[in-house]
Amino acid sequence: MAAATADGGAGIRLSGHTLDKATKAKVHLENYYSNLVTQHLERKGRHERLEETMREEGLSEEQKKEKRMQHSLKETEFLRLKRSRLGVEDFEPLKVIGRGAFGEVRLVQKRDTGHVYAMKILRKADMLEKEQVAHVRAERDVLVEADHQWVVKMYYSFQDAINLYLIMEFLPGGDMMTLLMKKDTLSEECTQFYIAETALAIDSIHKLGFIHRDIKPDNLLLDARGHIKLSDFGLCTGLKKSHRTEFYRDLSQAKPSDFTSNPMDSKRRAESWKKNRRQLAYSTVGTPDYIAPEVFLQTGYSSSCDWWSLGVIMYEMLIGTSLAH
């Protein structure tokens, strides 16, 4: 049906559903071609680093030829793996190691290699109902881009009719929240170590152009040697349009009244907080204890909100309770 457009010409009236589908298709295509360009640049960068390394090592032409052949085979295998379609049947479930608002995390073993991973399973219907699609896109994109020692690595992602699956690095040390629940407080030396590593981790994602916005003990994981890695980038903000769709609902839209509670004395507040600590971690919004004031009061925020959260965690490590309690 024809309709007047903004410039006075004749146009076509499109339904909201059609516009919505067109927007999603546009975002999909933009991301697809952006990824192609990124992959090309990454491959070119790896080749340049190989050539530079061979020059520094002073290899003979025959040795260089052998190195280039090995590198080419690795690149081919890498592309083959990227194109292969994985499914949940390719992984042997071992045990459930975590539960969240939209699903669970399982310890799994890849059937063909025997490698062990953490499989994050997210229910599509729940995420659509609670408008969390962009949050998952943001998390996936950060994990892909932040191939860094301070960020939990993601190796694969795929989906079926019911769930989304993120196959990530398994960290056997657990999370900081569990450690704090066991210890209550940490020594100044331990606190200094963990805070310093977390600061380096936060700085690394800021340099990539992202703000985490959900820094809390639950999202600080420990590897086998006790070193920190950041996880759970569902509320992370970046510059991609796919992180700002109509599905996007973040903590800045929550009203302060959403987090109010009945007054009680400080001792009872601390006891209640510790008792409900794990349950709060399962909620879709999470606990407000680590949210920076500017986010909580909806006055706009910058990367400094992550540093506020880090300060609250340091207080909790030393004192044994949240700053808000």
Task: Give pLDDT, residue 227.
Answer: 96
First to last CA, the chain: 60
In angstroms, how far apart are the furthest CA atoms of the chain?
77
The token duo for 31 is 């991301």
Binding-site sequence positions for ATP: 120
pLDDT reported for residue 156: 82
pLDDT at 314: 97
Task: Look at residue 267 in the predicted model and tell me its pLDDT.
Answer: 52
| φ, ψ (nearest 5 deg) of residue 175 | -120, 165
Contact between 106 and 121 under an 8 Å Cβ cutoff? The reply is yes
Q: What is the mean pLDDT of each run of 10 residues along the chain (325 residues)?
A: 45 76 76 76 84 87 90 79 79 89 86 92 70 50 59 83 88 92 94 97 84 85 93 52 33 37 47 51 55 75 87 94 72
Q: What is the pLDDT of residue 109?
A: 96
Any idea which residues carry the catalytic annotation? 214
**Contact status, residue 164 vs residue 136, Cβ threshold 8 Å:** yes
How many CA atoms lie within 13 Å of 259's alpha carbon, on the beta-carbon side?
20
